[in-house]
Structure 1
Amino acid sequence: MKLYCGVGPNSYRVRIFMAEKGVDLPRVEVDLFKGEHKFPEFLKLNSLGQIPVLMLDDGTVITESVAICRYLEELNPEPPLFGREPVGRAKVEMWNRRVELQVMGTIGDYTFHTNEFFKDRVPQFPGFGEAQKLNVPRKWEWLDREMADGRPFIAGEQFSIADITAGVAAWLGEFFEIERPASLPNVNRWLERVRSRPSWNAQ
């Protein structure tokens, strides 16, 4: 297998996931700034021109970061990052989806609609993007209220892909200088706990 990846939140998600699993794969760095994700040879792997992409030894291609992580989980079930039993798996799925849509998606809407890098990728509506930027703090406040029960991780007692997704969203927001309120005790304790893990510095 080999992983096509580069800068950006979705590649970062997969790298953290791999580090948590102790998995190391050969990598092909795709330079987004040079437009390598739009080169014809790459578009044969992913017609959407997005990274990461996992190519299996038989030539099978898997795209989308969560799908790649699910495949790696099947091959390396310990430690479980998608939950261990039916309720646990459902809760991880629920929370990963919630933070992906509510937090990461809101940050993504701002960057897609205001950043020069994405001007040829999507029709940009800067006013919408700026409105979404103002909405980001409220999304973090929502998550802080949800975690007021004292659980250590987003989906419960165990670290999961939901923590990876939300943690990468925090990193992305900081990169684009989007406010995350400082007075969020539950989110701040959770984020400190997550960032203390060795996987967080996965390159």
Structure 2
Amino acid sequence: MKLYTFDIAPNPRRVSLFLKEKGVSLDTIPVDLGKGEQFSSPLIDVNPDSTVPTLVLDDGTVLTDVIAICLYLESLYPEPPLFGQTPLEQAQIVGWCHRIYINGLGAVAEVLRNKSEMFKGRALPGAVPLPQIPELAERGNARIGAFFEAMDKVVAEKDYLVGDRLSQADIDLYASLGFCGWVQRAVPEECQALTAWLATMKSHFGE
């Protein structure tokens, strides 16, 4: 297997933290998004959408979505379980991953891709050029604030998003909060539960 990645970017980070928690190392090929390497070989040869992470299996099968990649690797490396131990837990974890992707990662991306000079003409991931819309950056910032408030209430009542142990849902939330820094947003002081949860996760991952 080969993993095409840019470790500091949020979606690759979701996979790298998954692998770190598993204690698994893969053959990785770095793709520097800042230099536009995603639009050239070798990545574009296996993933025309030019997105990372991209996992190429030994038989040539290509997986390009974080949840697809992590679920596949979970089947190969089941310990520790990061997608739950029951069908209900798995459903809840995948549900949280989806919600965090939309409301957390998506909100930050909305700001970044519609405001940063780096993404001028590339307001959405992929190979299709799309113009920035400044109003979407404003909306994204409002969504980030709502995300902080919502997640503060959730983690005030539990140590982990699902069950009694860390899961991919927690990894995704942690990566999303880190991604907020890319648009100069941090967990506000009034979100005390979320601030404490974030500190615990940083300690867990040794960061």
- 118-127 or 45-54, which deviates more: 118-127
Q: Which residue of 1 aligns with 2:3?
A: 3
Q: 1:27-85: CA deviations, max 9, x gaps?
A: 11112122111015422211111011111122221111221111110101111111110
Cα distance between partner residues in 2 of 1:45 and 1:133: 34
Contact 1:136 1:180 in 2 (8 A): no
Q: Which runs of 5+ in 2 are unaligned?
A: 124-130
Q: For the residues of structure 1 that align with 2:31 and 2:198, how far apart are their CA atoms?
A: 29
- Residue of structure 1 in register with 2:179 after alignment: 172
Matches within 5 A, 1:109-124: 109-122=110-123, 123-124=131-132
For residues 17 and 2 of structure 1, what CA distance do their matches in structure 2 show?
16
Q: Which moved more, 1:31-40 or 1:64-73?
A: 31-40
2:198 to 191, 197, 203: 191
User: How many residues are treated as equivalent by the alignment?
Assistant: 199
1:109-148 correspondence runs (5 A): 109-122=110-123, 123-148=131-156
Partner secondary structure for residue 57 of structure 1: coil
SS in 1 for 2:113: helix
Contact 1:92 1:162 in 2 (8 A): yes
Long gaps (5+) in structure 1: none
Structure 1 residue ranges (4+ consecutive) displaced by more than 3 angstroms after TM superposition: none
Distance in 2 separating the partners of 1:179 and 1:133: 11
Query: Counterparts of 2:188 and 2:10 in 1: how far apart (Å)?
Result: 21
Q: Map 1:3-152; keep pairs closer than 5 Å.
A: 3-6=3-6, 7-122=8-123, 123-149=131-157, 151-152=158-159
- Give me the TM-score of the superposition, normalised by structure 2: 0.90
Q: Distance in 1 between matches of 2:96 and 2:151?
A: 10
The answer to whether the 8 A contact 1:14-1:69 is kept is: yes
Percent of pairs with identical residues:
35
SS across alignment from 2:162 = coil
Code of the residue aligned with 2:141 in structure 1: it is K
Higher relative contact order (CA 8 A, sep 6+): 1
1:156-167 alignment, distance < 5 Å: 156-167=163-174
> What TM-score results when the alignment is normalised by the length of structure 1?
0.91
Residues 99, 165 of structure 1: 8 Å contact kept? yes
Distance 1:164 1:34 in 2: 27
Write the letter of the residue equivalent to 1:125: I
Moved more, 4-13 or 38-47: 38-47
Give the 3-state SS of the residue equivalent to 1:28 in structure 2.
strand
Shift of 1:5: 0.6
Distance (whole Å) between structure 2 residues aligned to residue 86 and residue 16 of structure 1: 23
* C-alpha separation in 2, matches of 1:38 and 1:132: 26
